[in-house]
Structure 1
Amino acid sequence: MIDKDSLKKYQNVTHAFADRLNSGINFQESYFYRYNERCSMLNDSGLCDLISTLGEDYLCDTCRLFPRHIEEFQDIREYSLTLACPEVTRIVMEPDYDFSITESEDETFDDPEEFEEFDFLLFDQLEYARDKIFEIASDRQKPLQERMDAISFMAYKLQECFDEGEIFSMGDVSDSIMEETKDRNLSFKYCMNALDELMNMEATEKSWTDTLINTQKYWNEHDENSKEWTEAMFPDSDIEFIFEKVLKTLLFTYFCGSVYDGQIYASAMIAVQSVRFMMMINKASDEPLNKTIYIYSREIEHSYNNLNAFIRKFEEELD
C-alpha cells in the first residue's frame, strides 16, 4: 500500500516519469500494479526505476521500510520482517530457524508529548499476555490447531476484560479453559464462511483471485470429515513447525498494537485465521508453500482495506 503523502507526491510529478507513474499506480486504491508478480516500477534488471529517476526521497513508506515492519510504543520500537518478502519467507521455511525476539537498548528517548495518551498499564498487560501466548504457541506436545484455539479463546477473554474495564484482571486470564473453545474456530463451516469473506476483499493480482476461486472450489468438493481436511489442518510436524513460526511472526507484528485501538481479539485472530487460510490454500494448490505464504502476506497484510475488513469481521464475533 502507498501512504497518503507519497501518493500525493506521485500525483504532483510533472517529470517525464509521470506517465510511468500514472500507468503503474492504482491511485484510487493506493497501490502499485504488479505484472507477472513484479512491481510496475521494476525494470527488466529488477531495479527500481522510481529510485533511479526520482531518488530515494520518493519511496513510499512501505518500500522504504520493506521488509521491515515497525511498531512504535513509548520508548520501545518493535521491528519485525514481513512475510511478504520472499527472502524472509525462505528463512522462516528453514528447519533450523526458530522464531525469537532479541532486545537491545540505546540512549534515545521519545518526546513524552508524542505519547501523551499512551496507556502504559494496558501495554504492560498486553506484553505479558503476548509472552503467555508465545508459550502456548510453542507447546509442541499439542497440535498447532489446539494451540491456536487456546490463543483465540485467551484473546477473547482478554477482550472481555478490556471491554468491561477490568484491565488488572487481564493478567489472570490463562489457557486453562481451553476445552471450552475446542474447535470453536476450526470448524469447517467457520473456515468456509471466512473464506467467502476473504474472496470479497480487494486483490492486487488476478492470480490471487484465481487462487481463492480454486481454493473455494477445492473445499466445496470436500468436507470436515475428509482426509484432505485433516491433512490440511494437521500436517506433518515439519510443515506444522513452519506454520507455528508464521503464527508467531504475525502475533508479534499485530498483538501489542491493540494498545492503540483496543482490538485485542481481532489482532490475535488475524494471526490465527491467516495461518488456517494458508493451510487451506496450500492443500488446494500446486504452488510451493513459501509462495503461498508471501503472496498471502502481500495481498492481505499490505492492504489497509483488507486488514480493516478482517478487523470488522472479528469485531462482529464479539457481539
Structure 2
Amino acid sequence: MEKPAEQKKGMAIAMKYYYPDYFDDFECVPGHECPDSCCIRWQIVVDPDTLKKYRHVQGPLGKRMAEKIDFSTGRICPHGEDNRCEFLNEDNLCDIVLELGENALCETCHTHPRHEEVYPNVRERSLAMTCPIACKQLLERKEPVNIDCYEVHARKEWDPFFDHKLFAELVPTRDTLLSIAQNRKFSMNQRMVMILGMAHDVESRIHHRAERKHTSFPLKNLPIFPNFTDREKHQLRKIRKAYCEDTAYEKIEKRLDEIIYDEKYFRQENEEPVSTIMTDMLFALSTMEALNPEWPPLLQSILNIREEMSREESRGRMAEYTEQEDEIELEQMLVYFLYVYCCTSAYDEQLLAKCKMAVVNVLIIRELWFMRWMENDELLTIDDKAELAHWYVREIENSDENMEQWDSLMQRSPRFAIKKILKVLRRGDILKQTH
C-alpha cells in the first residue's frame, strides 16, 4: 500500500490508516471482461481539482466534457436505458483513459472500488463489495481477514462537532465484534446473536453517557461531548471481555427464548413465523430506490415464491440448503459490513443499528442465494453468489438515499426489531443442529 509522505514531527501526531489485509490484492478487469461495470448506474461527481484539468481539455473530448459535465457541481449524469456514463464507449472502456491516460480520471473513478472513510486523524480503507470482482475475491477467501494499521506523522485534525471520545471507544469495540464474527467455534447464527447482544449492551452505556451531553455557551450550536466516566469505561471493557469468552453464547442462549418470546411481543394466538419476518425484510427493500431496473422484478419474484411456499416447505428447503452452505463466505461478508459500518456510529451513537444492518445484509444475501439455489435445481456457483451479493450491496451502498433509509429502518421500523432478527437467527441455528 502506498503510504502518504510524513510531515515534520514538531507539528504532528500519529495519523492511523486501517485497511483489510487483502486491500492491495485487487486488480480491475477491463471492458466486457467485467460482469457489471462500475461506470453504469452510478452518478459520478468529479472532484474540484480534476474539474480544473477538464476545463483545459481541447478537441472533441474537451467539447464532450463541456456538454456532458456540470462544471458547477461536478456531476456526470448517466444516460440511456442502461444509465451508462457519458464517457463509457461501446467496448465498455473509458474514452477519458483511452485519450488522456488513467491519471486523468477523477478521484472517485481512479480509486474505486477502493473506499476511504475519513475521521479526524484516522483513515479507514476498504474494497467495496459493490464491485463484482472485489466481491468474488472476498467470497473465495478462506483465511480470516486481518485489519492492518500503519501510522504516519500528520497535522492534528480536530473537529468540534465530532465525538472523539466516543470514537476512541468504538474502535476497540469494533475489534471485539470482528473477533466474534471470526470465531469459528460458533455457528454463524450464534456469532450474529452475540454481535447483536454486545452492540445492545455497549449502546446502552453510550446512551447513558449521552444524557450528560450539552451545548456550549455562548455558542449554543456547539456540542460538548462528556468524558466516559471511569465506571463507564470499566463497564465497556468488561462487556468486550465477556463476549470474547468461550461460554459467551451459552450464557446468552439461556435467556434467548425468554427475550424472543416476550409475552408482549410474540405470545399471540398466531405467532409470527420466521418466513414472514424474512418476507417483511425483503418487502422493505422493494420500497427503496432501484438503481438497476431488473432489481424490483427480482425482489418481486422472491416475494411471490415465498408467498406460494408453505411454512413447513420453507423450513424444510432452508434446512436442505444450510447443509451445503459455506459459512466462511458469510463470515467474510459479515466482517466487511462490520468493519465499514460500526465506527460511523460516532456520528449518531446508533451502534446497534449499524450491527443490525450488517447482520440483516448477511441474512438477505443468504436468502438471495437460497432462492437461486432452488431455482437452479440445487446448484449455486461462486459466480452466482458474487453476482447476487454485489448486486444487493450496490443497490444499498451506491445510493446515499438508500443507505440513509436502510439505517433509519434499522433504528425505527418494527420489521427490524432486534427480537425479530434474533428469532430468525435462533430458528436457523436450530435447523442447522437438527439436520
For residue 206 of structure 1, give the secondary structure of its aligned residue in structure 2. Answer: coil
Residue 91 of structure 1 contacts residue 97 of structure 1 at CA under 8 Å; is this kept in 2? Answer: no
| Post-superposition offset of 1:146 | 1.6
| Post-superposition offset of 1:148 | 0.9
Greater C-alpha Rg? 2
Aligned to 1:178: 252
**Which of 82, 85, 101 is 2:147 aligned to?**
101
Aligned to 1:159: 203
For residue 137 of structure 2, give the secondary structure of its aligned residue in structure 1. Answer: helix
**Which of 406, 409, 412 is 1:316 aligned to?**
412
Aligned to 1:273: 360
Q: Distance in 1 between matches of 2:197 and 2:333?
A: 19
Tell me whether 1:300 sits opposite 2:396 in the alignment.
yes
Tell me whether 1:138 sits opposite 2:182 in the alignment.
yes
Q: Distance in 1 between matches of 2:43 and 2:343?
A: 24
Q: What are the ranges of 5 or more consecutive residues in structure 1 without an aligned counterpart?
A: none
Residue 2 of structure 1 contacts residue 31 of structure 1 at CA under 8 Å; is this kept in 2? Answer: yes
| Post-superposition offset of 1:258 | 1.0
Distance change >3 Å, CA 203–CA 31, structure 1 → 2: farther
For residue 99 of structure 1, give the secondary structure of its aligned residue in structure 2. Answer: coil
Q: Distance in 1 between matches of 2:301 and 2:137?
A: 28
Aligned to 1:66: 112
For residue 71 of structure 1, give the secondary structure of its aligned residue in structure 2. Answer: strand
Q: Which moved more, 1:161-170 or 1:140-149?
A: 161-170
Aligned to 1:118: 162
| Post-superposition offset of 1:69 | 1.7
Q: Distance in 2 between matches of 1:223 and 1:33?
A: 43
| Post-superposition offset of 1:212 | 1.0
Q: Which moved more, 1:86-95 or 1:52-61?
A: 52-61
Aligned to 1:227: 316
The aligned amino acid for 2:342 is: F
Distance change >3 Å, CA 311–CA 60, structure 1 → 2: farther
Aligned to 2:384: 288
Aligned residues: 305
Aligned to 2:132: 86
Distance change >3 Å, CA 150–CA 280, structure 1 → 2: same
Q: Cα deviations across residues 270-291 of structure 1 (Å, max 9, x unaligned)? A: 2110011101111112570010
Q: Distance in 1 between matches of 2:141 and 2:348?
A: 36
Residue 86 of structure 1 contacts residue 290 of structure 1 at CA under 8 Å; is this kept in 2? Answer: yes
Distance change >3 Å, CA 200–CA 150, structure 1 → 2: same
Q: Distance in 2 between matches of 1:289 and 1:124?
A: 36
Tell me whether 1:236 sits opposite 2:331 in the alignment.
no
Q: TM-score, normalised by structure 2?
A: 0.61
Q: TM-score, normalised by structure 1?
A: 0.81
| Post-superposition offset of 1:198 | 0.7
Indicate the RMSD between aligned Cα atoms, in angstroms: 3.4
| Post-superposition offset of 1:141 | 2.2
Q: Which moved more, 1:146-155 or 1:267-276?
A: 146-155
Q: Cα deviations across residues 108-167 of structure 1 (Å, max 9, x unaligned)? A: x24434x23433321122111111111211122222112112212221222222222275
For residue 152 of structure 2, give the secondary structure of its aligned residue in structure 1. Answer: coil
For residue 288 of structure 1, give the secondary structure of its aligned residue in structure 2. Answer: helix
| Post-superposition offset of 1:54 | 8.9
Distance change >3 Å, CA 82–CA 157, structure 1 → 2: same
Distance change >3 Å, CA 5–CA 19, structure 1 → 2: closer
Q: Distance in 2 between matches of 1:37 and 1:294?
A: 18
For residue 150 of structure 2, give the secondary structure of its aligned residue in structure 1. Answer: coil
Residue 334 of structure 2 contacts residue 359 of structure 2 at CA under 8 Å; is this kept in 1? Answer: yes
| Post-superposition offset of 1:223 | 5.3
Q: Distance in 1 between matches of 2:145 and 2:411?
A: 28
The aligned amino acid for 2:151 is: E
Distance change >3 Å, CA 31–CA 101, structure 1 → 2: farther
Residue 2 of structure 1 contacts residue 61 of structure 1 at CA under 8 Å; is this kept in 2? Answer: no
Q: Distance in 1 between matches of 2:205 and 2:353?
A: 14
Q: Distance in 2 between matches of 1:210 and 1:18?
A: 37
Q: State the percentage of identical aligned residues.
A: 24
| Post-superposition offset of 1:103 | 1.4
Residue 2 of structure 1 contacts residue 62 of structure 1 at CA under 8 Å; is this kept in 2? Answer: no
Q: Cα deviations across residues 236-269 of structure 1 (Å, max 9, x unaligned)? A: 35x2111110110111011011112212111112
Q: Distance in 1 between matches of 2:362 and 2:80?
A: 24
| Post-superposition offset of 1:188 | 3.1
The aligned amino acid for 1:154 is: M
The aligned amino acid for 1:112 is: E
For residue 103 of structure 1, give the secondary structure of its aligned residue in structure 2. Answer: strand
The aligned amino acid for 2:286 is: M
**Which of 189, 196, 199 is 2:286 aligned to?**
199
